[in-house]
Amino acid sequence: MVAAALTVGFAAAAQEPVRQVPESVAEVRLSFAPIVQRVAPAVVNVSASRVVERRVSPLFSDPFFQRFFGNLGPGGPGQQVQSSLGSGVIVDPAGLVVTNNHVIANADDVKVTLSDKREFETEVILKDERTDLAVLRLIEADPDLPYVDFANSDDLAVGDLVLAIGDPFGVGQTVTNGIVSALARTQIGISDYQFFIQTDAAINPGNSGGALIDMSGHLVGVPTAIYSRTGGSHGIGFAIPSNMVRVVAESARTGAHVRLPWVGAAFQEVTADIAEGLGMERPRGALVADVVADGPAARAGLQVGDLVTSIDGVDVDDPSSINYRVATKGIGGDATLGVIRNGREYVATLALEAAPETVPRDEMQIRGTSPLTGVTVANLSPALAEEIAFRGRPEGVVIVDVDATSPAARAGFARGDVVVDVNGIAIASTRELASAAAVRPPIWRLTIRRNGQILQSQFRGG
């Protein structure tokens, strides 16, 4: 039922949109109300909460003080509830809701309230940090809930009218309108798959995870961030395109993580200096900086120094554009790349396949008294690299999590760091790292690779 609704919704929006400039006062006075009335019931409020420990003065555990101040939280002294509000949009009549991952991240409890005030408990069936999207399923919901069809976000043009529907500042469902200000914004720093719709429709805190709607009443994007100096709207908002949202929603049918095609190559932005060196009139495309042996890019014939300029006839301007175009095609089939090598143009065929699990992850947490105590590490493979959006060669031992209260966190280690060696011992597996971290030397010397750079650190032992 989910698959049918998603497929039909996308197909229904695939027609060429009709664009027309108002030609009379009567046309200017036309209303968005019919669209809002049809779509608004499918846009929901998302409330996420979690219980956290807090520091409490010993005085408050004294019965004398409790007579005046009472209990300090639902879990007893030392605990409090943190909550956040956002928005979501129902994309399937069976109760599938898409929202932003950052709205519900680390939540213990997530509730959804519909525009008609009905409230539902939810099951979080998918969270994807890379795209900043999450999918919820409403528990005990009616099988015929209102929902919004997907549009083809590639059909959008700068200047198109759009509506933003959500729950800004928790005041209740609110509708704002504006235009598409820009497309394919890739230098925002919001998510790993950066390719955003920019709009001047007012988007404020609480709109995150809601709906950006076109004039056909279809979902063209999910508002996810704003540029603001004050915390309020300045007319610069960003939404994740519906084509990426659709990929995540369809992945939720399996209840697993989002599986995206693996390219098996790293790309570099083309600067003005690089463009001049290549004899180009302007910077465009993305340079191949590295190719993984036996990966899809290698089998397609790509080489370091090649310039990829298009995917399936659509121009690409930077590495983020390549990541987005490949991701939204999904696994299966292939993509046609336009490539320039040594001044000559040619076409390469890239197989769209899942990243392989070449080595067992053998995930474990490092314990003991080393500076790495508190990290969770795993053996890196192409599959894991895709899951954590790791950039670089998928080999070695990578940190996948850091306990916020651990010595490792205080030492500055972070998710995505690759442990190269410990006290001169090269690390090739998690078990080797665990053995190296179990000793007690007077001085710890560690080498880490972070974002392609080698970092060396020294810590006092014991």
Residues annotated as catalytic are 102, 132, 208
Q: How many whole angstroms separate alpha carbon 227 and alpha carbon 238?
A: 8
- Count Cβ atoms below 10 Å from residue 276 Cβ, excluding itself: 12
* Largest Cα–Cα separation, the chain: 84
Q: How many CA atoms lie within 13 A of 216 on its CB side?
A: 20
CB 250 within 8 A of CB 6: yes
Q: Position 457: which residue type?
A: S
**DSSP-derived secondary structure letter, 109:** E
23's tokens: 């030609």
Q: How many whole angstroms separate alpha carbon 297 and alpha carbon 335?
A: 11
191's tokens: 């998510």
The whole-angstrom distance between residue 111's C-alpha and the CA centroid of its chain comes to 21
**DSSP-derived secondary structure letter, 270:** -
- Tell the residue number behind the tokens 């599938």, with chain if given: 96
**DSSP-derived secondary structure letter, 405:** T
327 phi-psi bin (left φ>0, alpha ψ -120 to 50, beta other): alpha
Q: How many whole angstroms separate alpha carbon 404 and alpha carbon 394?
A: 25
100: enclosing H helix or E strand: strand 96-100
SS3 77: coil
CB 444 within 8 A of CB 423: yes
C-alpha distances in angstroms, 114 versus 33, 97, 221? 19, 11, 20
Closest by CA position to 206, among listed 121, 83, 117, 97:
83
Q: Position 326: which residue type?
A: V
- Tell the residue number behind the tokens 């300045």, with chain if given: 234
DSSP code string of 202-218 = ---TT-TT-EEE-TTS-
As beta bridge partners, residue 237 has 199, 226
